[in-house]
Structures are given as structure tokens and as C-alpha cells.
């Protein structure tokens, strides 16, 4: 006879609290900003957690920092490694530098030069590979078997999820009277961390996800109650191209109230509104929650809404409007 | 026999302190931000007072607010008026709205529609005129003789200067250990207010002006010890096109240590650096102090520098780089 015990999937609220203590000396306590003009436009009351002002320009530094500083001395000695060409790569490089260990980043040989420069600027070692998933994985495995480095995945990894949840902890400290909290969802690290933190700290506040309609695997997975991978995402929100992982999906399925999508033109409009009215540079992915509110006004009208501005890394030579 | 008594030119430090108490309920206490990456690039230690996050997106709200709330009940009844197509117009409109009085803004009939919309958005009444200085003045005089409104000049006016000085008061509260403080200079309201505030509060801290080389009347006037009007300014820093006034020039002549200029390409580079590294939208005029530091590195290297980001109102449909 077999007993099936309830299994804790992902980190606990206590893990988020511990992560916060662990990373506090290294992260920025980012401000929560308000904007009367955006409140008027949307007919809601916004509290924006400005992770675009976080180190490396994104919340990703929280998760990377927690993962790196969770390693034992013995593990840390051999360094860390990952494959990424985005904010996680830069975040891991800086976190490793702060612990005084090496970070090896496997990047496709067609990665944008600004991204390569960012990782190098934080002292990361780059190993280039062909731009295929298989080449990435093979190259990463090579690096790990040669160096003994610990692989730090970008989102489907408990220490990373716990770290990302610390942004919501701070937001709920500064703006405790919210009705709901909206986070963008790509791989689901931020949304699942946010859900765990909010359930632990302020269980009456609902947590919801915001996703581009053109990369809506989380939306579809959530409503189908099964993990549906993203196939051909096509969105300006380039931080949200990835699919959910099994851990992040389980957490989201359990603790998130709903997932909404927004169209490309609304994402661009929301991004421009934030640049114009708040004088803050946010990246397209960070504009998706506000876009969702603008597009589903009947649902969000009159509510007190916390929004995590996930990052501010944009290529300014690009034209967005 | 005649005695010539020393005359106080412009507001006193006490006027700035009173202004601060007067406008505190209406202004935003804007944050002072730092940026390791800009410190590294310039080899200096920066403290940025973010008046781009001020109401109406510029420090101008401080001066307008002080002027409007300094009026007696009797004066206030008839409203206020000015000619301007920039931040002062929007600032005066909002300040008047907060006091519940009317603001009439004389604007050239070729003013940009974003500026017209901003003034209207804050409830200002616009009277259009031909785009000449003479038409502006005639139209303004007409408005005043009809309505009895009080003229609130954009910079050469003591209550406005005292109000602008309050930004430096707050900066010196948050970052007391500066070597020097840099403010952009156009009409000189911000720079002269900053000088009076700093001399009163922290007299060992030097105050310096930053001006586009392509609109350098303050630089030339300062070094020639006589007021030389600007003739054909040609700069992206469109908030700094005006000449000094007699009051602002006298204050600057007495209390400012030096004025530096910066080239157009350095202003654009500085602006882009702030957008990219600090994730803050600042207007070209606000980038001039940082541009001055980048261009005169030998002078500023190793110093602790306060900089006032004067505003963040840019037309995002424009291409800057």
C-alpha cells in the first residue's frame, strides 16, 4: 500500500523571507511610484514597483543573487553557469562577481552586441554556441563537466523563484492596501514568486499574470489546466518569449487567480505612457501589466493595483513608435 | 548728500525657506538618485535631484506655485497670466488650478500641440497670438488690462526664483556632503535660486552653471561682467534658449562660482546615458550639467557633484540619436 503525501512544489513563503534577508545587502530597495495621470487614464489606483531601477536594470538580479548566495562554499568555488542572452545572464554575472566567483554564460553567436557587452561589463565569461537549443544545452553541459560549475536556470528553479518573490514583499510593505497585484509572465519565475510572497504576507490580495496575446502559453496553459509550451511567439515584449516550466506552472496553477493578455499595440501604448507620464524607461515586457489594465478596463476599473515594472533594458537605437 | 545703501537683489535665503514651507503641500518631494555606472564613466560621485519627476515634469512648478500662493486674496481673485510655450506655462496653469483661480497663457499660434494640450490639461486658458515678441507682449497686456490678472514672469521675478531654490534645499538635505552643485542655465531662475539656497544652507558648497555652447549668453555675460543677450541660439536643449534677466544675472554674477558650456553632441550623449543607465527620461536641457562634467573631466574628476535634473518633458516621437 502506498501513501501519497502532499508535496510542496516550489519554495515556501519562509524561503522568500530568507531570500530577502540573504540578498538585502546586495540589491537596491527600489521605490514604489504612483502617477495621478495614469490613474486618471485607467480609472484605477496604481502602485508601481520600479524593478527597472534594480541593479542590472531588472528584477532578475534578485533571483540570481539568491541562487548564488545560497551555494555552499564548496559549490561556490567552482563557479556558476547558465545559458541565456537576456537579463538573467547579466544578473548572474553580477551576482557571481559580488560573491567573488566565476560565472560562465553560454550565449548564441548571434546575440545582440549590447547584451554581450552587458555580461562582459559585469565580469561574466562568455562561451558562444550555435543559435539552437541543442547547441546551448550541449555547450552548457561541456562547461559544467569541465569546471564543476553549478547550473543556475533562469526561472524553473526554487532559489530563483524565491528571490523573485522578494520584489512583491517590498511592494506590499510600501503599499499594503492593494486589491490585486499584476506581474508579467514569461517563464513564470516572477509571477510564481510573487504569488508565494503575496499568499504568505497578504493572503486577501489577488495575484494575476499579464501576458502578450502573441506569446500566450501561460494564458492557455492556465485555462487548459495543463502545460502547453509556447511555439511561435511574436511579440515586442522580448523578455516574455519563453514557456512556463513545470515548477512555475504548478505554482501559478495553484496560487494565481487569473491571467490576462494584451495586444501588441496596447503594450506599445502602455510603454509610451509610462515613459511620457512617469519619465521612466521601462522595457516592453514591463509594460504588459499596464496594457492588460487598459485593455480590460471593465474588470480593473476602481481597483487598487500593484504592478511590478520588471525591467528597463531597451535598445534605445530602436524605434518603438 | 546722498547715501547709497547696499540693495538686496533678488530673494533672500529666508525667502527660499518661506517658499519651501508655502509650496510643500503641493509639490512632490522628488528623490535624489545615484548611479554607479555614471560615477564610473565620469570618475566622479553624482547625486541627481530628479525634478523630471516633479509635477508637470519640471522644477518650474516650484516657482509658479510659490508665486501663485504668495498672492493676496484680492490679487488672486483676478487670476494670473503669462506668456510662455514651455514648462512655465503648464506649471502656472496647474498652480492656479490648485489655488482655484484662473490662469491665462499667451501662446504663439505655432506652438506645438503637445504643449497646448499640456496647458489645457491643467485647466489653463490659452490666448493665441502671432509668433513675435511684440505680439506676445501686446496680447499679454491686453489680457491683464481686461482681467486684472497678475503677470507671473517665467524667471526674472523674485517669488519664482525663491521657489526654484527649494529644489537645492531638498538636495542638500538628502546629500549634504557635496563639493559642488550644477544647474542648467537658461533664463537663470533655477541657477540663481540654487545659488541663494546653497549660500544660505551650505556656504562651502560651490554652485556652478551649465549651458549649451550654442546658447551661451550666460557664459559670456558671466565672464564679461555685463549682461549680453542671446541672439541666435541653436541647441537641442530647448528649455535654455532664453537670455538671463537683470535680476537673475545680478545674483549669478555675485553668488555663482563658474559657468561651463557643453557641445551639442555631448548633451545628446549625456541624455542617452541617463535614459540607458538610470532608466530616467530627462529632457535635453536637463542633460547639460552631466554633459559639462563629461566635457571638462579634468576639472570635475574625483568630486562629489549634485546635479538638478531640471525636467523630463520630451516629444517621444522625435529622434534624438
Cell of B290: 552631466
CA–CA distances in Å: residue B36 to residues A316, B40, B75, B275, B302: 20, 6, 49, 14, 14
Question: Which chain B positions have a beta carbon within 8 Å of A275's beta carbon?
Answer: 281, 316
Task: Please check the confidence at residue B310 and state whether its pLDDT lies above 90.
Answer: yes
ipTM of predicted complex: 0.93
Residue A198, helix vs strand vs coil: helix
Rounded Cα distance between B169 and B198, Å, is 7
Query: pLDDT tens, position by position, for chain A (321 residues)?
Result: 455 555 667 999 999 999 999 999 999 999 999 999 999 999 999 999 999 999 999 999 999 999 999 999 999 999 999 998 789 999 999 999 999 999 999 999 988 888 898 899 999 999 999 988 899 999 999 999 999 999 999 999 999 999 999 999 999 999 999 999 999 999 999 999 999 999 999 999 999 999 999 999 999 999 999 999 988 899 999 999 999 999 999 999 999 999 999 999 999 999 999 999 999 999 999 999 999 999 999 999 999 999 999 999 998 988 888
Q: Read off the pTM.
A: 0.94
CA distance B169 to A68: 41
A window 33-62, beta carbon within 8 A of B? 33, 52-53, 57
- The answer to whether the Cβ–Cβ distance between A279 and B276 falls below 8 Å is no
B26 at the A interface (CB within 8 A)?
A: no
Condensed to tens digits (0 to 9), the pLDDT of residues A52-64 reads: 999 999 999 999 9
Across the A:B interface, residue pairs with CB atoms under 8 Å apart total 38
Asked whether the beta carbons of residue B281 and residue A280 sit closer than 8 angstroms, the reply is yes
pLDDT tens string B233-243: 999 999 999 99
CB contact under 8 A, A279 and B53: yes
Pick the residue from chain A with its C-alpha nearest to B282.
A279
User: In the predicted model, is pLDDT for residue B313 greater than 70?
Assistant: yes
Whole-number average pLDDT of chain A: 95
Answer yes or no: do A280 and B280 touch at CB < 8 A.
yes
Q: Look at residue A85 in the predicted model and tell me its pLDDT.
A: 77
What domains appear along chain B, each with residue ranges and CATH number? 13-58+161-309 (3.40.50.1100), 61-158 (3.40.50.1100)
Q: Are strands A304-309 and A180-184 parallel, antiparallel or unpaired?
A: parallel
**Contacts A281 to B, Cβ<8 Å:** 275-276, 279-281
Measured distance CA(A221)–CA(A92) in Å, rounded = 29
3-class SS of residue B294: helix
Amino acid at each position: 500500500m502506498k501513501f501519497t503525501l502532499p508535496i510542496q512544489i516550489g519554495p515556501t513563503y519562509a524561503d522568500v523571507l530568507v531570500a530577502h534577508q540573504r540578498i538585502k545587502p546586495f540589491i537596491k530597495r527600489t521605490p514604489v511610484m504612483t502617477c495621478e495621470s495614469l490613474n486618471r487614464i485607467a480609472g484605477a489606483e496604481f502602485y508601481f514597483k520600479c524593478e527597472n531601477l534594480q541593479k542590472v536594470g531588472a528584477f532578475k538580479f534578485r533571483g540570481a543573487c539568491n541562487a548564488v548566495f545560497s551555494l555552499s562554499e564548496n559549490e561556490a568555488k567552482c563557479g556558476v553557469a547558465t545559458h541565456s542572452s537576456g537579463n538573467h545572464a547579466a544578473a548572474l554575472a553580477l551576482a557571481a562577481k559580488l560573491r567573488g566567483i566565476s560565472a560562465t554564460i553560454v550565449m548564441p553567436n548571434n546575440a545582440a552586441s549590447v547584451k554581450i557587452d552587458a555580461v562582459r561589463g559585469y565580469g561574466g565569461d562568455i562561451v558562444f554556441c550555435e543559435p539552437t537549443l541543442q547547441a546551448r544545452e550541449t555547450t552548457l553541459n561541456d562547461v559544467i563537466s569541465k569546471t564543476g560549475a553549478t547550473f543556475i536556470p533562469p526561472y524553473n528553479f526554487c532559489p530563483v523563484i524565491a528571490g523573485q518573490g522578494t520584489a512583491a514583499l517590498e511592494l506590499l510593505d510600501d503599499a499594503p492596501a492593494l486589491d490585486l497585484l499584476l506581474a508579467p509572465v514569461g517563464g513564470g519565475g516572477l509571477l510564481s514568486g510573487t504569488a508565494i510572497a503575496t499568499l504568505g504576507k497578504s493572503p486577501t490580495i489577488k495575484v494575476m499574470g499579464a501576458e502578450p496575446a502573441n506569446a500566450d502559453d501561460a494564458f492557455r496553459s492556465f485555462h487548459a489546466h495543463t502545460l502547453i509550451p509556447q511555439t511561435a511567439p511574436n511579440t515586442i515584449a522580448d523578455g516574455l518569449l519563453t514557456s512556463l516550466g513545470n515548477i512555475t506552472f504548478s505554482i501559478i496553477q495553484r496560487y494565481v487567480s487569473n491571467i490576462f493578455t494584451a495586444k501588441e499595440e496596447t503594450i506599445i501604448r502602455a510603454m509610451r505612457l509610462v515613459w511620457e507620464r512617469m519619465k521612466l524607461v521601462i522595457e516592453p515586457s514591463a509594460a504588459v501589466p499596464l496594457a492588460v489594465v487598459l485593455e480590460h478596463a471593465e474588470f480593473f476599473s476602481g481597483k487598487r493595483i500593484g504592478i511590478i515594472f520588471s525591467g528597463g533594458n531597451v535598445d534605445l537605437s530602436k524605434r518603438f513608435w
